[in-house]
Structure 1
Amino acid sequence: MKTNTLSVEQLHKMDAYWRAANYLSVGQIFLCDNPLLKRPLTITDIKKMLLGHWGTTPGQNFIYAHLNRVIKKYDLDMIYVAGPGHGGPAVVGNTYLEGTYSEVYPDISQDEAGLQKLFLQFSFPGGIPSHASPECPGSIHEGGELGYSLSHSFGAVFDNPDLIVACVVGDGEAETGPLATAWHSNKFLDAATDGAVLPILHLNGYKISNPTILARIEHEELEQLLRGYGWMPIFVEGYDPTLMHEVMATALDTAVEQIKKIQHDARALGDLTRPRWPMIVLKSPKGWTGPKVVDGLQIEGTFRAHQVPLHPHKHPEHLKLLEDWMKSYRPEELFDKQGRLKTELAELVPLGCRRMGANPHANGGILLRDLRMPDFRDYAVSVPEPGAPGIGDTHVLGPFLRDIAKLNDEQRNFRVFGPDETLSNGLEALFDVTERQWDAATLPNDECLAPSGRVMEMLSEHQCEGWLEGYLLTGRHGLFNCYEAFIHIIDSMFNQHAKWLKVTAHIPWRRKIASLNYLLASHVWRQDHNGFTHQDPGFIDHVVNKKAEVVRVYFPPDANCLLSVMDHCLRSRHYVNVVVAGKHPAPQWLSMDEAVKHCTEGIGIWQWASNDQAVSPDVVMACCGDVPTLEILAAVSIMREHLPELKIRVVNIVDLMKLQPPSEHPHGLSDMDFDELFTKDKPVIFAYHAYPWLIHRLTYRRINHNNFHVRGYKEEGTITTPFDMTVLNDLDRFHLVMDAIDRLPQTGDKGMDLKQQLKDKLIEHKQYIDKNGQDMPEIRNWRWSAGRAADNSRDMRQILTEQRVGLSSQDAK
């Protein structure tokens, strides 16, 4: 392919710049001293422990140099996403060459001393990681996030009409499920209001020790695959640098001009036809320009180039090979005597914020603006008395989110993401003001689909998570709603984002971003109709493994508490907030004023449900989660009615982290405050939403921990009734009362008699649901009543009989 994109002078300068980047990359992997090779290399110049990855690096250096040229030529607003897992030498070296690195780290100066520090710090104790880590300017995606580069890139360009993300996709990375699915993200991009992603599939042929699939299929098959995904691939293939520079320059010019035409047609001409966006396939040798043969084995162009190809400490003869390798880049032509990049090469770099390392979109907190928020109190439900019926907590939240979307429509900085579950999770009110963004074909019976919208739905939790992370990292706000059981699909993505937040919180030049907010609905206790596969609350256990400065977990017990919690989460910065809430009709416990106070404190005694005022309780009945709260209060009503001599305290927990000591979490209660709630020596019956052992883990240091008896999900489930889900896991009101009786010997024969009645009741429950396919009427229609709880004039058997007769006739009516 012969073109005239580059002049001879441009070609020579770009090749020199590429050599400079390759030189810096090799230096980072190997050297601790002698950065400009002013004297022959000695073994003392070599790091004792060599860690890093060479194989992908020269190709990424090649790409970065060429992107600099098109940024200058077309005045592009562009950031760089390094998808291959360990391209750290490339992104660090290039941000150093462009000057950004020295601006954020002045001690890594643009001279020989700075070069020595740059080399020494790489993959070295007390230094920086070997991938595109948060410490590297320009990065929004790091090595541990293999497979998410394309998702992050699309999230970055949603509502960023002028931004282009150059996303380098490694051919090993391309084999991951998230990346393979992410190619479909082009069906969700609005050319009129969003930016563009330019994928660059980097085919260098190998992973750690295996060939890659896409590099081993025929050219025609690969092209058909990418075209089938909806892309227009431009191929750049070869080995000779002179030819490759020219072909790459022409390919990038073609791609940029195609992007500009697509956007012009959409924005100026109103052409809403789904475009075929350009992408580039760069096929180059793995470890390009590195050692050809070492110890009789081919290195360049094989899997052996993946990591560190030379080991001078183990093999002294490698020292000369390393010196020859580094000198092949002719550093004396690239750097002046002081170690600065020569002026004629530095002129290739874009200016100011056009440098990819200095682009503010890669440090999203700089661009972050507060959400315009309505007053959540305006969406309150009326709770004339505790236990008032409710329509479902997330259905109350929906109008609040709807109005947030409406208020921020002009700013275009808020979106709701979810895997086709926004309606199912009770957030239907959003569709009063927005649509699902969708750029594929539509049919007459479709609903709520449009090229532009505030709701993003694709039946891939990976894509929703990756899109949202990219959206947040570039300075916007969002919410991910998902079925509780299937949020596990993105466990590793959450891991990496939490690590990113933890690290960046301690990097002075990084600005805080909006929190990653999860709303987990359709939860374990209301998945009775879908069965065991849909019943898993274990994401919470996974979340609390992360640093306390990053994670927050909330269990609002009713709609007003959910509104208060969500308002707080959407206003917060630099956290991962997990909110678990129900969508089915459920009792409402607190007025809005009470809810705000309770959520602000995060934990508290519900005096209206307790009868231990001014005395020490005999038992503490604690609850965390909407269904556990219901069952605890139902248990308390039985106990207060039939064991009225007991003094009972009800404690509700909204903020799970309150259970930890303050030394472990900033929200934690002091031992004094904890003991005031849970006592130092009284039994605590604790009904918890998820796996019970987490509560023991959070409270094991407390004085009264040995008296904690926790009921929660214990991996028992099937297709059954809602109440039977609690029975299967011993979380139901009857088991909770029996647990209390077992720990309260003072209840004597009266307690034993009540316990037997409750055992009988559980048998009756099983017989009833097997026959009728639904819970007993007294369960379905139960209501809290303080008056009834205080009435102890009748025998339990008589009460249950009357309830069955009365409610059965009501059902028939």
Structure 2
Amino acid sequence: MPANMTAWNTAEIADLDEQTLQRVDGWWRAANYLSVGQIYLLRNPLLRTPLSADDVKPRLLGHWGTTPGLNFLYAHLNRAISQRRQSTIYLTGPGHGGPGLVANSYLDGTYSELYPDVSEDDEGLRRLFRQFSFPGGIPSHVAPEVPGSIHEGGELGYALSHAYGAAFDNPDLLVATVIGDGEAETGALATSWHSNKLTNPRADGVVLPILHLNGYKIANPTVLARIPEDELRSLMIGYGHEPYFFEVPDDTADPAAEHAAAHRRFAALLDEVLNEIAAIKARAADGDETRPRWPMIVFRTPKGWTGPAEIDGNKTTGSWRAHQVPLSSARDTPEHLAVLADWLASYRPEELFDDNGRLEADIAALAPPGRLRMSDNPHANGGLLLRDLRLPDFRKFGVDVPAPGATVAEATRVLGEWLAEVVRLNPDNFRIFGPDETASNRLQSVYETTDKQWNAEFYSPDVDEHLARVGRVVEMLSEHQCQGWLEGYLLTGRHGLFNCYEAFIHIVDSMFNQHAKWLKVTNHIPWRRPIASLNYLLSSHVWRQDHNGFSHQDPGFIDHVVNKSANVVRVYLPPDANTLLSTYDHCLRSRQYVNVVVAGKQPAPNFLTMEQAVAHCTRGLGIWEWAGSEQLGADPDVVLAAAGDVPTLEALAAADILRTRLPELRVRFVNVVDLMRLQDSTEHPHGLPGREFDQIFTRDRPIIFAYHGYPWLIHRLTYRRTGHPNLHVRGYKEEGTTTTPFDMVMLNDLDRYHLVMDVIDRVPSLQSTCATLRQEMADKRIAAREYTRAHGDDIPEVRDWVWPDARKLGTVAAGAAASATGGDNE
């Protein structure tokens, strides 16, 4: 923690003196004025001349309704931070409060420090107003461009999960988090209240949830604003919080007096809450491991507070009409222009800004100093605090491969052994998140080093295995929370990974969208420092969900990911344990990416030595000479390619058949680890230049590609390639059920026999001469299907298959080979 910050001080309950009251109220009025100005004004920022239609923007965009409440909270937190010197960041679930957060970061000086052209004077104010929701300017949300932001709020539901992610391993950090009452209706937010059972009061920071009830969404009332207070209190107590209620009436005859009273009441309430938090932290420091009932605030204010009471005879403040732009015709009608002029004047800007347009010094004194400003807190620009991980040498954890396929391993189990050492070496800045699947995905070796963090009740140790008050693994059966926690953890300068079943990672599709867009934008914001990459490990994948059936069989997250900016996304499909180790070492070292790694957890053959694996992963794709039957100096007759562990296995088995049955056929075998290598170098930084791609895949020979996911993605990635017309892709085509592993690949025509048939169909010299072999392959498919129906298992020819070099060594017993296609999937 920076030297000018301290933590968890208590203070006397505020009884605001007149000077402090005026500072808080002046700050609030100034922030409200700047917020309205950003939505409406193109010029004349301090109304030095009477407001005219030409001063108003031609397109009025933004949201007002939630903003004055956010500004009120920001002003009061400033006072408390200055008094207590408490490191605090401010998360706003209502992302539509963007003008308020821009206004506050401008008032405390951070905005002008980072954007010197938006200076603290008349011209700077004009630029501040003009840029908001204006072409070439800034978005209307609490976007990456806003100092102090780690949560855009564009999609509602994730404020608390981001907040708790920020609090993990930050014991001296307060995360003040505003939850909009519309946001509170989302499933993700409703679940995230339970995060307080998974944080430790001694080792982690504190999240202060502030439920902002202003009563309305875009056009409808909100649920939590329309239930009795005792019911809402019971709900919050049930979530494990101690609720503190604060309310401002909708209508008042004397707004100035009501505002002063509101400031005094809220200052006292906030001090009471912060003192209770400090007491909890002190008890935890003394060894109290009881799960505390953390304070939270229910903050009820009118929607659009301080705005026009009525517009065109309709109630506005305190209604849904205040949600977005209450005066939509301010440029076009004299009536609305006059209301806007009165609205702006009601904040008395002449009392707030000096003759040069700078915030009056006495009001500005409310801002905390230096890095104590919420807009300048280093935790909200996590790259400033990011430390490189201490990573063990992954080569030491590799599996022995005396010949391709000669040993069998569960790839993710091998990775788990390495991750256990990663956890040991990084005890305070690396975490593993997952929805109750860390052990299921074979990463359980990490429990030799750490436990799962848990702060709800404990039962006997023989039941509650690997649970502890402090641990590096955080599990909750909600993909939303795992994603949100990891994002908050990364955005505040730490490292981690999210392991999940492949089919159900889709639950966070839109959260991934938001994070990927955040990374893309921050790549172009110089003051934003790079953060650690968001790393997915997707296991229990489509090809080995044969026991769970169709509902668990979906590899489409990859398709979703590659829609995002090429400067952000990476997709890896390591074919065995050693390539997985090399891949994940790279991912944990990377910055500013989303890395998606898909790897199997079932026993499977290992094909590459560690030295070969490192070279192969460095290339991203490559020719496996040992698997092909090429002749030096001659082009291949066909290219057999694969991406993914099961497709690689099936393609190698097909190559084995071709080598045995068609020894004169020249087959080139290509394996792809880095899927982005298939794109052209002009489209993705990892893409292969056209000449290199043609050298590997040829310009005019058939390419049979066995792919892990939906086949059309490979076509999409390679559509510009010279040899694309010759490309035939086999992959998942939405066929699945509860069946055997090999029957699963047969259902989707990805099996070895069908791949041999594809070669025969597409190599011109084979089409008529190999009709008998083709028929034999078709018959084998029929026989394999019948065998599964009769015996409930795959045919021995498939179940016990190993690569010929391994057979020669005699090192793989039939039972070990059989385990490569069988075993538990849970």
- Fold equivalence (TM over 0.5): yes
Amino acid at match of 2:28: W
> Does 427-436 or 143-152 show the bigger shift?
143-152
Q: Does 1:346 align with 2:346?
A: no
Q: Does 1:780 align with 2:796?
A: no
1:442, 1:758 → 2: CA distance?
57
Give the direction of change, closer, same or farther, for the CA distance of 1:4–1:455 in structure 2 (3 Å limit). closer
Q: What residue is the counterpart of 1:77 in the other structure?
A: 87
Amino acid at match of 2:294: W
SS of residue paired to 1:336: coil
2:805, 2:755 → 1: CA distance?
19
Amino acid at match of 1:511: R
Amino acid at match of 2:313: G
1:547, 1:666 → 2: CA distance?
11
Q: What residue is the counterpart of 1:14 in the other structure?
A: 24
517, 528, 531: which one pairs with 2:535? Answer: 517
Amino acid at match of 1:49: R
SS of residue paired to 1:562: helix
Q: What residue is the counterpart of 1:585 in the other structure?
A: 603
| Pairwise CA distance, 1:788 | 8.1
Amino acid at match of 2:247: E
| Partner deviation per Cα, 1:360-411 (whole Å, 9 max, x = no partner) | 00000000000001000000100000012322100110111000000111xx
634, 638, 660: which one pairs with 2:653? Answer: 634
Q: Does 1:430 align with 2:421?
A: no
Q: Does 1:51 align with 2:82?
A: no
Contact 1:528 1:725 in 2 (8 A): yes
Amino acid at match of 1:59: G
User: What does 1:86-165 align with in structure 2 at a 5 Å threshold?
Assistant: 86-165=96-175
Give the direction of change, closer, same or farther, for the CA distance of 1:788–1:151 in structure 2 (3 Å limit). closer
Q: Does 1:556 align with 2:574?
A: yes
Q: What residue is the counterpart of 1:373 in the other structure?
A: 391
| Partner deviation per Cα, 1:684-724 (whole Å, 9 max, x = no partner) | 00000000000000000111101100000000000000111
1:137, 1:748 → 2: CA distance?
65
1:492, 1:788 → 2: CA distance?
47
2:660, 2:165 → 1: CA distance?
56
Give the direction of change, closer, same or farther, for the CA distance of 1:385–1:787 in structure 2 (3 Å limit). closer
Q: What residue is the counterpart of 1:283 in the other structure?
A: 300
2:385, 2:720 → 1: CA distance?
42
Contact 2:630 2:666 in 1 (8 A): yes
Amino acid at match of 1:374: P
Q: Does 1:655 align with 2:674?
A: yes
2:745, 2:350 → 1: CA distance?
74
Q: What residue is the counterpart of 1:307 in the other structure?
A: 324
Contact 2:403 2:806 in 1 (8 A): no
Contact 2:650 2:752 in 1 (8 A): yes
264, 267, 272: which one pairs with 1:249? Answer: 267
Q: What residue is the counterpart of 1:793 in the other structure?
A: none
| Pairwise CA distance, 1:747 | 2.2
Normalised by the length of structure 2, the TM-score is: 0.94
1:494, 1:330 → 2: CA distance?
43
SS of residue paired to 1:162: coil
Residue identity over aligned pairs, in percent, reads: 64
2:668, 2:729 → 1: CA distance?
16
Amino acid at match of 1:278: P
Amino acid at match of 1:234: Y
683, 690, 700: which one pairs with 1:681? Answer: 700
2:729, 2:774 → 1: CA distance?
19
Q: Does 1:613 align with 2:631?
A: yes
Q: What residue is the counterpart of 1:539 in the other structure?
A: 557
| Pairwise CA distance, 1:611 | 1.4
User: What does 1:348-747 align with in structure 2 at a 5 Å threshold?
Assistant: 348-409=366-427, 412-444=428-460, 445-614=463-632, 615-747=634-766
200, 204, 219: which one pairs with 1:194? Answer: 204
Counting matched residue pairs gives 788
| Pairwise CA distance, 1:247 | 1.5
Q: What residue is the counterpart of 2:312 in the other structure?
A: 295
2:452, 2:796 → 1: CA distance?
40
| Pairwise CA distance, 1:4 | 5.8
User: What does 1:180-219 align with in structure 2 at a 5 Å threshold?
Assistant: 180-219=190-229
Q: What residue is the counterpart of 2:15 in the other structure?
A: 5
| Pairwise CA distance, 1:645 | 1.3
Contact 1:147 1:176 in 2 (8 A): yes
What is the Cα-based RMSD across aligned positions, in Å?
1.4
1:748, 1:19 → 2: CA distance?
81
1:787, 1:39 → 2: CA distance?
87
Amino acid at match of 1:317: E
Contact 1:415 1:454 in 2 (8 A): yes
| Partner deviation per Cα, 1:70-90 (whole Å, 9 max, x = no partner) | 101111100000110311011
| Partner deviation per Cα, 1:38-57 (whole Å, 9 max, x = no partner) | 11001110000000000000
2:175, 2:797 → 1: CA distance?
59
Gaps of 5+ in 1: 790-802
Q: What residue is the counterpart of 1:795 in the other structure?
A: none
Contact 2:409 2:606 in 1 (8 A): no
SS of residue paired to 1:553: strand
| Partner deviation per Cα, 1:769-796 (whole Å, 9 max, x = no partner) | 011111111111100115989xxxxxxx
Amino acid at match of 2:432: V
Contact 2:40 2:56 in 1 (8 A): yes
Contact 1:557 1:654 in 2 (8 A): yes
Normalised by the length of structure 1, the TM-score is: 0.96
Contact 1:643 1:747 in 2 (8 A): no
| Partner deviation per Cα, 1:491-550 (whole Å, 9 max, x = no partner) | 000000000000001100000000000000000000000000100000000000000000
1:117, 1:160 → 2: CA distance?
36
> Does 739-748 or 531-540 show the bigger shift?
739-748
| Pairwise CA distance, 1:5 | 2.2
User: What does 1:253-268 align with in structure 2 at a 5 Å threshold?
Assistant: 253-267=271-285
Gaps of 5+ in 2: 1-12, 250-257, 809-813
1:591, 1:617 → 2: CA distance?
26
2:355, 2:767 → 1: CA distance?
92
Q: What residue is the counterpart of 1:799 in the other structure?
A: none
Q: What residue is the counterpart of 2:811 in the other structure?
A: none
Moved over 2 A (4+): 313-316, 747-750, 786-789
Contact 1:609 1:786 in 2 (8 A): no
1:400, 1:750 → 2: CA distance?
51
Q: What residue is the counterpart of 2:254 in the other structure?
A: none
Contact 2:76 2:267 in 1 (8 A): yes
Contact 2:405 2:806 in 1 (8 A): no
Contact 1:643 1:751 in 2 (8 A): no
Q: What residue is the counterpart of 1:323 in the other structure?
A: 341
Give the direction of change, closer, same or farther, for the CA distance of 1:696–1:185 in structure 2 (3 Å limit). same
Give the direction of change, closer, same or farther, for the CA distance of 1:748–1:213 in structure 2 (3 Å limit). closer
1:18, 1:787 → 2: CA distance?
74
SS of residue paired to 1:687: strand
285, 288, 291: which one pairs with 1:274? Answer: 291
| Pairwise CA distance, 1:144 | 1.4
1:399, 1:304 → 2: CA distance?
57
1:747, 1:707 → 2: CA distance?
16
1:402, 1:144 → 2: CA distance?
36
| Pairwise CA distance, 1:763 | 1.1
